[in-house]
Amino acid sequence: MAPFPLTVPIVISTTVFFVVVLLFVGFYQIHRQRIARRSMLEKVRASTPSGEPFVEGTGAGSSENARRSISDLLSEIGKRVAPEKSEDYSRLRRNLVSAGLRNANAPRVFWGAKCFLGLLLPALYLLFGVPLVRSLNPRLEMVVPLFLALAGFYLPDIWLQNRSEKRKDKIREGLPDALDLLVVCVEAGMGLDSSIRRVAEEMALNNKVLSEELRLYGLEQRAGKARHDALTSLANRIDIEDVHNLTSLLMQTDRFGTSLAQSLRVYSDTFRTKRYMKAEEAAAKLPGKMLFPLILFIFPSLFVAILGPAAIRIYETMIKP
């Protein structure tokens, strides 16, 4: 069989591919470092007294201006293609709010990103990837751009779902502590609204996502929104079953005049039991998940370690003269 011909287009395409991959990896690492730095700065700023303002270093203005320019560009693109009067637009708006993106311009930016990536990836392929695909399989030359266009169009949806799930996991992580603090505040004689505001202040350093949602509930209350509507809005923004159950409990307690402290105590015990049952379910699934790595990685190593010396001894005894 003749060796694979190493032509100049293949070398150029492969080099460009690896350069693009390394650039994406570099930008991703820079983005992660900026997120970690921003989180640390927010924690320091939150713990700094109000009379001693914390001054952040220079260099953030140019990054903010670049981000605003990109957002404006995507917004202009999305303004022309976003279906603003459809059910999909309302569903997208709810998903963005659930992911923590409450800006009124977020749906347009999202649609602009979908269209931009849907055109960018095929364009990059036509510029750099055609020689490589043509040398490997000419039949894929027209299929790959279509696949890249679809991938670029749906990448923002995958990113949005991933962001929303991470945010919900963060809220689930801090919900037991917030519930315990709420029970303590209510049993100490505080009202429901003041207890929620106090929990939001206490959770600011430990779980900023949940603290922001509870603080937004307090702002809606101060703006004159009814407690029932504010609790419903809180449950719809977070969109977690446990929060829906908690807000339903608080609304029923407020409507029927039952003991708030006792209801929260019972719900806290029930919630703790539910978490314990979920942990047991995850532990029961562990043996099935461990079966594949055991068979693929651990068992062959054991066979080599156990049967290897015996095979060498048999070879030396029976085969060697």
Helix (H, G, I), strand (E, B) or coil at 255: helix
**Runs of H (alpha helix) within 205-257:** 208-222, 227-238, 241-256
Nearest to 246 by CA among 314, 165, 179: 179
Q: What is the pLDDT of residues 159-192, one digit of tens each?
A: 999 999 999 989 988 888 888 899 899 888 888 8
Of the ranges 24-38, 130-144, 247-261, which one carries the lowest mean pLDDT score?
Answer: 130-144
Structure tokens at 78: 């999305």
Q: How confident is the model at residue 56 (pLDDT cuts 50, 70, 90)?
A: very low
Give CA–CA dist 197/218, Å, rounded: 6
Mean pLDDT value of segment 117-146 = 74
CA–CA distances in Å: residue 104 to residues 4, 202, 256: 54, 29, 37
Instruction: Evaluate if residue 199 carries a pLDDT over 80.
Output: yes
Residue 159: per-residue pLDDT = 92
Instruction: Evaluate if residue 154 carries a pLDDT over 80.
Output: yes
What torsion, rounded to 10 degrees, do the Cα atoms 251, 253, 254, 256 define? 120
Overall pTM surpassing 0.85 (yes/no): no
Give CA–CA dist 5/134, Å, rounded: 13
Q: Ramachandran region of residue 239, left (φ > 0), alpha (ψ -120 to 50) or beta?
A: left
Q: How confident is the model at residue 55 (pLDDT cuts 50, 70, 90)?
A: very low
